[in-house]
Structure formats: structure tokens, C-alpha cells
């Protein structure tokens, strides 16, 4: 199972919006509405930010939103804040009954 | 409060074995699937294995299939990962994660470090 494709890095200034893409195939991202997104700060456990493509867990800011079109999912962060600087990973269920992560995207807040 | 706490990591020689544990609390353990996810040094997250709520279904990444075994003891609210034939490329921080009822892993531990080296 190959990792989903994410950009290695994205950046934005405070207050701006950024979008991170996550490309897969019809056997994972495109085949199921089971895409989730994680924020990961070094030394800590990852934090679930979005599940089932576009749902936010309780406590996650509404500045975070998710969507999907075809085989590509996206995470958008609006009103960027310094505390958003972290690594972000997408994850999808697959037709093999397994799960696959994206390679990760490092977000830098300028 | 939901908590998951991993233990059992350490230094092991190539070809050796190790068993990781994950103690869970704050939720009905048998209701939710659980998973192991790892992160090798300088690399991204990699899903390793998952087990259903009652332990009757297990799933593995190709990279560990046949070498790792996931299990759970609902009487102890504990998840396990038995690792055999360890390789240098298994060196990673191993995270235990509770799965939601649909997609997503909603609670994670701090991880336990496994180092495979001679």
C-alpha cells in the first residue's frame, strides 16, 4: 500500500488561509468517505482534526475544515495562527481493509 | 477522561522480539477498535495494525504481516503488539490509538520508542 501524496511543506502568514492536499486513488481516498486529518507536534501524540472527510471533533477550532473531490482530499486552515505550525497528515481507509497515511506536510507560519 | 498509555519499548537486537502494551482508560474498551501507528526517525506516520473491539478481526500493514501480532485483553483494558524478527527498519516511536466508530483515530498516547540495533 503506497502512502497518500501530500506536499512536503506549505507556509502562510498569520491571518491567511492555506490548503493542504492529499492525493490517493479510487481504492482509498476516492472510494470511501473515511478520510481523516491529524496535527502532529514533535514529541506529542498526533491530534485528530477532521474525520469522515469534513467532520470536526469536539474542541477543534472551526478554522479547520476538510473536503474531498474525486481521489483528492483537502484540509483548509483559515485565519492562520502561530500555534497552527506543525506537521499535518491525512489518512484514509483502503479497499484492503487497511489504513494508509499521507507522507506529511510541514506547515510554517511566517 | 480518555487516556491511552504505551509501554514496553526499548533496545533490541536485529532478529529479536519485543512486546508493547497500551493501557486504556476512560471509555468502554471493548466497544472500540484500536490501532498501532509508528513513526520512524525523520519519517512520517505509518499505520501498523488494527484490531476490532472484541478482538475477532485483525489487520496488518504488509511491512509487518507475519512478524507482528496485535491482540487485546478486555479484562485488563490493554492492547498489545507482539513483535518478532525485528529489523532495523522497525526502529520507530510506536503509538497506540483509539479509533472512532467510523474513520479517524481520536485518542493517542505519547508513544514508546523501539530501537532495533546491534
CB B45 within 8 A of CB A40: yes
CB B46 within 8 A of CB B38: yes
The reported pLDDT for the residue numbered B103 is 87
Q: Per the CB < 8 Å rule, is B110 touching A45?
A: yes
The reported pLDDT for the residue numbered A42 is 84
Looking at the complex, does the CB of residue B46 fall below 8 Å from at least one CB of chain A? yes
Q: What is the DSSP string of B62-108?
A: TTTTTTEEEEEETTTTEEEEEE-S--GGG-EEEEEEEE-SSS-EEEE
What are the backbone dihedrals phi and psi of residue B52, each rounded to the nearest 5 degrees, phi first?
A: -70, 170
Q: How does DSSP classify residue B57? A: -
Q: Per the CB < 8 Å rule, is A40 touching B45?
A: yes
The reported pLDDT for the residue numbered A13 is 97
Share of chain A above pLDDT 90, in %: 96
Q: Per the CB < 8 Å rule, is B37 touching A101?
A: yes
CB B20 within 8 A of CB B6: yes
Question: What per-residue string of b and e applies to B24-49 under the rule 16 or more CB within 10 Å gives b?
Answer: beebebeebbbbbbbbeeeebbbbbb
Looking at the complex, does the CB of residue B61 fall below 8 Å from at least one CB of chain A? yes
Element (H, E) at A74: strand A72-77
Closest-CA residue to A107 (of A4, A18, A15): A18
Closest CA in chain A for residue B61? A98
In the predicted structure, residue A1 carries a pLDDT above the cut 80:
no
Q: In Å, how far are B15, B93, B95 from A87, measured between CA atoms?
A: 32, 16, 16
Share of chain A above pLDDT 70, in %: 100
In the predicted structure, residue A51 carries a pLDDT above the cut 90:
yes
Q: Which three cell numbers stand for residue B26?
A: 476512560
Beta-carbon contacts of A30 under 8 Å, excluding residues fewer than 6 positions away, are A24, A70, A71
A21: confidence class by pLDDT, cuts 50, 70, 90: very high
In the predicted structure, residue B111 carries a pLDDT above the cut 90:
yes
Count of helix runs (H) and strand runs (E) in chain A: 0, 9
pLDDT in tens, B21-69: 999 999 999 999 999 999 999 999 999 999 999 989 999 999 999 999 9
Please list every residue in chain B whose beta carbon sits closer than 8 Å to the beta carbon of residue A52.
Answer: 102-104
SS3 content of chain B, % helix, strand, coil (to 5): 5, 50, 45
Looking at the complex, does the CB of residue B3 fall below 8 Å from at least one CB of chain A? no
- Strand-pairing partners, residue A67, are A74
Q: What is the DSSP string of A19-61?
A: EEEEE--TTTGGG-S-EEEEEE-TTS--EEEEBTTTBPPTTS-
Place of cell 481520536: B106
In the predicted structure, residue A104 carries a pLDDT above the cut 90:
yes
Amino acid at each position: 500500500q503506497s502512502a497518500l501524496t501530500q506536499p512536503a511543506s506549505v507556509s502562510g502568514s498569520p491571518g491567511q488561509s492555506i490548503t493542504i492536499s492529499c492525493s490517493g486513488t479510487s481504492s482509498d481516498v476516492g472510494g470511501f468517505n473515511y478520510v481523516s486529518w491529524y496535527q502532529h507536534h514533535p514529541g506529542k501524540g498526533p491530534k485528530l482534526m477532521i474525520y469522515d472527510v469534513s467532520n470536526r471533533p469536539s474542541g477543534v477550532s472551526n478554522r479547520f475544515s476538510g473536503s474531498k473531490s474525486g481521489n483528492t482530499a483537502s484540509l483548509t486552515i483559515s485565519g492562520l495562527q502561530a500555534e497552527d505550525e506543525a506537521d499535518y497528515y491525512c489518512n484514509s481507509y483502503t479497499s484492503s481493509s487497511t489504513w494508509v497515511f499521507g507522507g506529511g506536510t510541514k506547515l510554517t507560519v511566517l | 477522561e480518555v487516556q491511552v498509555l504505551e509501554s514496553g519499548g526499548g533496545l533490541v537486537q536485529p532478529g529479536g522480539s519485543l512486546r508493547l502494551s497500551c493501557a486504556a482508560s476512560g471509555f468502554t474498551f471493548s466497544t472500540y477498535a484500536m490501532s498501532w501507528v509508528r513513526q520512524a526517525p525523520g519519517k512520517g506516520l505509518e499505520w501498523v495494525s488494527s484490531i476490532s473491539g472484541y478482538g475477532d478481526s485483525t489487520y496488518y500493514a504488509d511491512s509487518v504481516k507475519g512478524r507482528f501480532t496485535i491482540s487485546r485483553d478486555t479484562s485488563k483494558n490493554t492492547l498489545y503488539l507482539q513483535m518478532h524478527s525485528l529489523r532495523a527498519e522497525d526502529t520507530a516511536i510506536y503509538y497506540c490509538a483509539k479509533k472512532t466508530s467510523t474513520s479517524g483515530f481520536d485518542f493517542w498516547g505519547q508513544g514508546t520508542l523501539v530501537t532495533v540495533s546491534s
